[in-house]
Amino acid sequence: MSTDPHALFEEWLAEARLAEPNDPTAVALATADAQGRPSVRMVLMKGHDESGFVFYTNLDSRKGGELAANPSAALLFHWKSLRRQVRVEGPVEPVSDAEADSYFATRGRDSQLGAWASDQSRPLDARPIFEARYEEMRSRFEGRDVPRPPRWGGWRVRPVRIEFWNDRAHRLHERRLFTRAGEGWSEGLLYP
């Protein structure tokens, strides 16, 4: 068995990129507010290495507020075509401004403009209001690069638990659990 969950995740992600028809980096992100009330939504993982799993969002969104108030999260990758899932749990930290700027620069222009136009998770009286704000941003930045909005950034989930789940016949699934042990990892199995 591997003792490096990040290497195993990279292997599984490579297989998912070949097998999943849509968004193999889509992941369910679970957060909780300061009172412990949970919330979950899908996001796209935009980076992964030994330091953690990275996604980006409007920092004033519901998830941004929950992560600021309660800096812990859980992720769930579900690759149905492979009959696999990976669960990740751990504290979160903001990515650096340089890292957020670098990723933002790779986004499509319309997505960049949308980040400026959207007050993500806030009430919207009517769709035309948002569309007008988008057009304002398009005019504002016409002919020049779109910088990252100050309220937009990324979070890194620093895992302390990573579970790899394989579907097996008769619900006799295989579950491998890696838990942070100092600078390394310990590994064990869980009953299905």
Transcribe 82-99 into DSSP letters. Answer: GTEEEEEEEEEEEPPHHH
Give the burial class of 72: count Cβ atoms within 10 A of its Cβ; 0-12 exposed, 13-18 middle, 19 or more buried. middle
Annotation says 171 is catalytic? yes
Judge whether 100 and 115 are in contact, CB under 8 Å.
Answer: no
What are the φ/ψ torsions at residue 37 (nearest 5 degrees)?
Answer: -75, 120
Distance CA 153, CA 115 (A): 10
Please choose, from the candidates 77, 76, 81, 75, the residue with its C-alpha nearest in 3D space to the C-alpha of residue 18: 81
Considering 109, 127, 171, 180, which one is annotated as catalytic? Answer: 171
**Which of 108, 147, 113, 109 is closest to 132 using CA atoms?**
113
Q: Which residue carries 């403009």 as its tokens?
A: 113
Residue in this structure with the two tokens 């195993």, named with its chain if needed: 8
Which sequence positions are flagged as catalytic?
Answer: 171
